[in-house]
Amino acid sequence: MSTVTAPERADAAPAEEQVLARISYRTPVMYALAGLVTLFVFAVGTDPDASTTFQLASGSSWFTIPNFGVPSLVGALLLAAAQLAAAGWAYVLLRSRRGVPVWLHLLVGVAFVVSFLVWAGAGRTSVIPVTSLLAGALALSVPLIFGAMSGVICERSGVINIAIEGQLLFGAFVAAAIASQFASGYAGLAAAPFAGAAVGALLAWFAVSFRVNQIIVGVVLNTLVIGLTGFLFSTLMADDPGSWNARQPLGVIRIPVLSEIPVLGPVLFQQTILVYIMYVLVAVLQFMLFRSRWGLRTRAVGEHPKAADTVGIKVNTRRVWNVVLGGAVAGLGGAFFTVGSGLAFGREMSAGQGYIALAAMILGKWNPRLAVLAALLFGFSKNLGNVLSTIGSGVPSELLLMLPYIITIFAVAGFVGRVRPPAANGTAYTKD
């Protein structure tokens, strides 16, 4: 074959005059915008003499960190400078066609949030409780993370799971009912995955076996679960709340030693068993998806089902089981609303978290690890709104409720590049 070398030669020749793609400067623009908001809103709007107090301590640390005050104006100016510097650096990186590292995104995000806190807490007597801000953020993220993992399991195998919402809600309902019947939160927790799996099985039956449009089936199932749980709530549960809808909280388990770490200990290691299950689930899913036979086949079925079929993989069987498994995961996450947070069941208490979980999954590019980060971002911004309205900032509470969604839009528009869903996501598979 005398011609093997030909393509390389053609490559090498025009290298010096190659037309290059247009560079997208979205990232530095977003950084600069954040920096300018910090500068002109947060810094300009701050009284030069004011200071902001942060509280890092929590009851059980080995040592207590005293509250510390930050001169608000100086803090805001420094943070603005940091963000603008990051914008400049990102510009330089992009102009020389190098990527912007992920940690820079995180740094700018944290700087922006801290400058917002500095401004919101400026000149007030109340302190910013950092530990409880983070702990609450993690708690609010729990159903989102379970939901996002459910989405990853289903969509990686090619089935869109809009029914996460219904799976969360049904998990919450069944957990509450079973927990009251057996007077044990753990019994409720054990029952929740089965509830979610039942909704998942319905979805799989219609979407995979009958090839009904997956989004429509999902939405219908959500409505069905809202109706069913609403009906049982106002009949069964309302008639005998003691035996069907009593509060059965899961106990908080402190992990010895680890829970004593300042700030992080109380946030991560003084939680219910549900949160610890979540840690394990995320780690296991991340590993299994990319390093196991199950993961390889799941991804193949979601990307190119025909290719999977030609090597003897049963595409639809795999999809059905994955959707049932995904349903179970979301159902378990639903237990957070009732036994996980020590509340009784309430009508439509999942309140759209299933859809937010789906958004977290997309923001996380169908990757468990990144989806967790996205879910944490949603949880954090939601809790930030809560905390600020309790400590009383100058911002109206209605605006604070919008915070998670504003942050979402900025995150999606600013930091997420082109995302690529699994190629066969949402399409039913038949041989012919």
Partner 1 sequence: MKLELRGITKVFGSLVANDHIDLVVEPGEIHALLGENGAGKSTLMNVLYGLYDPDDGEILLDDRPVTFTGPGDAVAAGIGMVHQHFMLVPVFTVAESVALGYEPTGRAGVLDLDRARRRVAEISERFGFHVDPDALVEDLPVGVQQRVEIIKALSRDAQVLILDEPTAVLTPQETDELISIMGELKEVGTSIVFITHKLREVRAIADRITVIRRGKVVGEARPTSSETELASMMVGRSVSLSVVKTPADPGASAFQVKDLTVLSPTGTPVVDRVNLDVRAGEILCVAGVQGNGQTELAEAILGLHEAAAGSIVLDGQDLRGKGVRERLRAGIGFVPEDRSTDGAIASFTIAENLVLDLYDTPEFARGVTMSPAKVQANAEQLTQEFDVRLTDVRDPISTLSGGNAQKVVLARELSRPLSLLVASQPTRGLDVGSIEFVHQRVVAERDKGTPVIIVSTELDEVIALADRVAVMYRGRVVGVVDAAQAGGVDRDVLGLMMAGVPYEEATAQAAEHQSTLAMADQGHLPHEEQP
Compute the distance between CA of residue 110 and CA of residue 394 in angstroms, rounded to an integer: 21
**15 scored as a contact of partner 1 (CB under 8 A):** no
**296 scored as a contact of partner 1 (CB under 8 A):** yes
Instruction: List, edge to edge, every strand of the sheet that includes 128-129.
Output: 68-71, 51-55, 128-129
> Binders of partner 1: how many residues, by CB under 8 A?
40
Question: Exactly one of 15, 21, 257, 280 binds partner 1 (CB under 8 A); which one?
Answer: 21
Question: Exactly one of 110, 252, 258, 307 binds partner 1 (CB under 8 A); which one?
Answer: 307
Could you give the count of Cα atoms lying within 13 Å of 350 in the half-sphere of its Cβ? 34
**264 scored as a contact of partner 1 (CB under 8 A):** no
In our burial notation (b when 16+ CB lie closer than 10 A, e otherwise), range 396-412 reads: eeeebeebbeebbeebe
Question: Exactly one of 48, 59, 256, 312 binds partner 1 (CB under 8 A); which one?
Answer: 312
**97 scored as a contact of partner 1 (CB under 8 A):** no
Pairing of strands 128-129, 68-71: unpaired
In our burial notation (b when 16+ CB lie closer than 10 A, e otherwise), range 194-208 reads: bbbbbbbbbbbebbb
Q: Among the candidate windows 38-46, 216-224, 262-270, 298-306, which touches partner 1 by CB under 8 A?
A: 298-306
Question: Exactly one of 24, 209, 243, 430 binds partner 1 (CB under 8 A); which one?
Answer: 24
Q: How far is the CB of 299 from partner 1 (least distance, A)?
A: 7
Measured CA to CA in angstroms, residue 315 lies from 254, 294, 299, 305 at distances of 43, 12, 11, 6
**96 scored as a contact of partner 1 (CB under 8 A):** no
**304 scored as a contact of partner 1 (CB under 8 A):** yes
Contact at 8 Å (CB) between 52 and 122? yes
Query: What type of residue sits at position 1?
Result: M
Q: Among the candidate windows 67-75, 259-267, 285-293, 328-336, which touches partner 1 by CB under 8 A?
A: 285-293
**300 scored as a contact of partner 1 (CB under 8 A):** yes
Question: Exactly one of 273, 309, 351, 395 binds partner 1 (CB under 8 A); which one?
Answer: 309
Question: Exactly one of 48, 62, 310, 398 binds partner 1 (CB under 8 A); which one?
Answer: 310
**292 scored as a contact of partner 1 (CB under 8 A):** yes
Q: Quick check: helix, strand or coil at residue 422?
A: coil
Contact at 8 Å (CB) between 327 and 163? yes
Q: Give the length of the chain.
A: 432
- Could you list the residues that contact partner 1 (CB under 8 A)? 1-11, 14, 19, 21-22, 24, 291-297, 299-300, 303-304, 306-314, 418, 423, 431-432
